[in-house]
Amino acid sequence: MIPNSSVSYQVNEAEQPPEKSLSQENQENLDEIERPDKPEEACGVFGIYASGEDVAKLTYFGLFALQHRGQESAGIAIFDDGQIHVHKEMGLVSQVFNETILQQLKGNIAIGHNRYSTTGSSHVVNAQPAVLETRLGPVALAHNGNLVNTSQLREKLLEKDCNLVTTTDSEMIVHAIAEEVNSGKDWLSGAIAAFQQCIGAFSLTIGTPEGIMGTRDPHGIRPLVIGIIPSQPQRYVLASETCALDIIGAEYLRDVEPGELVWITEAGLSSYHWAKPERKLCIFEMIYFARPDSLVHDETLYSYRLRLGRQLAREAPADVDIIIGVPDSGVPAAIGFSQESDIPYAEGLIKNRYVGRTFIQPTQSMRESGIRMKLNPLKDVLTGKRVVMVDDSIVRGTTSRKIVKALRDAGATEVHMRISSPPVTHPCFYGIDTDNQDQLIAATKSVEQIKEQIGVDSLAYLSWEGMLEATGENTNHFCSACFTGDYPIGVPDALKRSKLMLEKV
């Protein structure tokens, strides 16, 4: 436990997620309306070492820019002269923090986190950063990814009488660091020894009284970038994506390399390579998860997604009147499809960007046309038109079916669907919450069967080869296991059965 003398720790236990109070039947109805037909987000991590700056407010805006990566909880840990102040709750960044709270978080080092649960359920106790006290002072950790040896690591820590209070793999990592530090190691050697016990995907920002660390697993499955705030002395920022640097005026320096630890202190930035890299960046970061304005391989992901659309048009052309995209993630590929095919692009669906997630039980009639809570078709654009609708993926097919029906109801004479990625046939175990395999529509149905189920006139997916070649990079440097089942890190059978394995412990 963390002594009160060194920690100010604010967690609002009353802020449980509202869905926990709903009946199972009502929750299933809400899921049908609210749950996107996509793989769910990864988490967002942030870290900053900036003496003389309002690091709490900078971290707030960094998390605000990373909100798309997780909407369940948010938290910030601030270090101030050896003490740590933590505030984390369930909800969006703008709901968890306000001016009063941020003014109380004073210091020169900050770690921030947006959460979408992958191991451990959506409860406030599982919110991050995860914080522990060590012989060298407090440590705070924010984690994006998912370990595949969580059970073994947990057993090892319990044998050492560690007091585990959450059901997350992230807590295992911070306990492993604390154990190594308490055995006599310094922050660097202790952290490296802990990382070498972890198997799976992890991009971490770690705060200590001396400085902050950033690291990626040897495969670099999840992203992590370094930014600088020009000043004397230089100030450094760590973030999941470059969009979090842009919002606070930081400049992109470079990526944290797979198997690298960067250590940022008053003396500046130093680098330590603790494992041999075997690059396997998640290809879905490129296709969907990361924001289109974020930089990967020295270009925005918008440019890559345009190329996906162009390649899709070459592979699966259609004789139609207009091209539309499913907002927001399908739009760049739809524009690329339009450019390649010389067929006009139009906005056929308008997204309500302020609807958020509702926990009020909808009426039966609303359930039947629930997609309109978030997407509404433009009748005067669609009436009498043959339409190609471009999206980045289909996971379960439920939302796609409703969108197709809405387009036909709005007057489209033909609806064709093109997907700017291959069929998703396998779940992800590296920090993305995809369904179990039997719930993935492409794992159990052919393309023709999917076409019939969602009600389109034609359906085509981008080829696996086309998706990888469009990166312009070494195609062996990406993880595409959700399309192929070829997992770069071995996945135990127990993990395949449930992401909530620790809830039973």
> Strand 295-296 to strand 299-300: parallel, antiparallel, or no bridges (unpaired)?
antiparallel
**Which residue, chain included where needed, has tokens 């029906």?**
405
Bridge partner list, 263: 213, 270
Residue 321 is labelled as binding a ligand:
no
Name 71's Cβ contacts closer than 8 Å, sequence gap at least 6. 41, 92, 114, 116, 357
> Strand 349-351 to strand 414-419: parallel, antiparallel, or no bridges (unpaired)?
unpaired
Report the C-alpha gap between 298 and 291 in whole angstroms.
14
Name 372's Cβ contacts closer than 8 Å, sequence gap at least 6. 406
Bridge partner list, 80: 83
- Supply the DSSP string of 207-253, one letter for each residue: E-SS-EEEEE-TT--S--EEEEE-SSS-EEEEESSTHHHHTTTPEEE
Residue 482 is labelled as binding a ligand:
yes
Is-contact 85 77, C-beta < 8 A? yes
Residue 243 is labelled as binding a ligand:
no
Residue 162 is labelled as binding a ligand:
no
> Strand 225-229 to strand 235-239: parallel, antiparallel, or no bridges (unpaired)?
antiparallel
Structure token digits, residue 271: 């680098």
Report the C-alpha gap between 356 and 63 in whole angstroms.
17
**Which residue, chain included where needed, has tokens 């370094």?**
226
Bridge partner list, 225: 239, 255
Phi, psi at residue 380, to the nearest 5°? -70, -20
Residue 282 is labelled as binding a ligand:
yes
Q: Pick the closest to residue 483 from 425, 421, 396, 397 (CA basis).
A: 425
Residue 154's SS3 state is: helix
Catalytic site residue from 43, 162, 198, 243:
43
43 is known as an active-site residue: yes
Report the C-alpha gap between 6 and 443 in whole angstroms.
51
**Which residue, chain included where needed, has tokens 């692009």?**
345
Structure token digits, residue 25: 């039947």
Q: Pick the closest to residue 285 from 298, 272, 275, 294 (CA basis).
A: 294
Tell me the binding residues: 282, 329, 391-392, 428, 479, 482
Tell me the binding residues for Mg(2+): 329, 391-392
Tell me the binding residues for [4Fe-4S] cluster: 282, 428, 479, 482
Cite the active site residues: 43
